[in-house]
Amino acid sequence: MVVINTQARDIEIRHVMDIKSSAYIIVTAYQRSTHRTKCYLLNCQRGEIYSRDNNHWNRIADPFDYFEIHRIIQEALSDERIPKFSTDSNGLNSILN
């Protein structure tokens, strides 16, 4: 598994969902410090990352947090142990490498 260990983040990527009909990827992660699941929304066209907190999507604006989360998600995309899924005309399919 790919893990971030910083003061700001302590997350382990668990799943990746590519939404084919949009420019978005949804990533779920386990945050060890809080023992909670975190959700991230990536806009692949604009390069923005959002974090789900309570009932809102908040854009990650802090440069350190942004680059750390972006780096760990990029590593997770190439990690074959992390389940990756995609929506397409055939429904939900695994997009494992």
Tens-digit pLDDT profile for residues 51-91: 998 889 999 999 999 999 999 999 998 898 999 888 875 55
| Cβ-based neighbour number of residue 48 at 10 Å | 15
Q: Is 57 a member of any domain? A: yes
Helix then strand count (H, E) for the chain reads: 1, 7
- Domain of residue 25 covers 11-84
Q: Is 1 a member of any domain? A: no
Which of these ranges, 18-22, 69-73, 93-97, has the smallest mean pLDDT?
Answer: 93-97
Closest to 79 measured CA to CA, from 22, 3, 26:
3
Q: Is 23 a member of any domain? A: yes
- Give the pTM: 0.79
Identify the pLDDT of residue 15: 93
Q: Is 21 a member of any domain? A: yes
Which residues are paired to 57 by β-bridges?
52
**Beta-carbon contacts of residue 5 (< 8 Å; ≥ 6 apart):** none
Q: Is 31 a member of any domain? A: yes
Q: Is 4 a member of any domain? A: no
Number of domains into which the chain is organized: 1
Q: Is 91 a member of any domain? A: no
Q: Is 94 a member of any domain? A: no
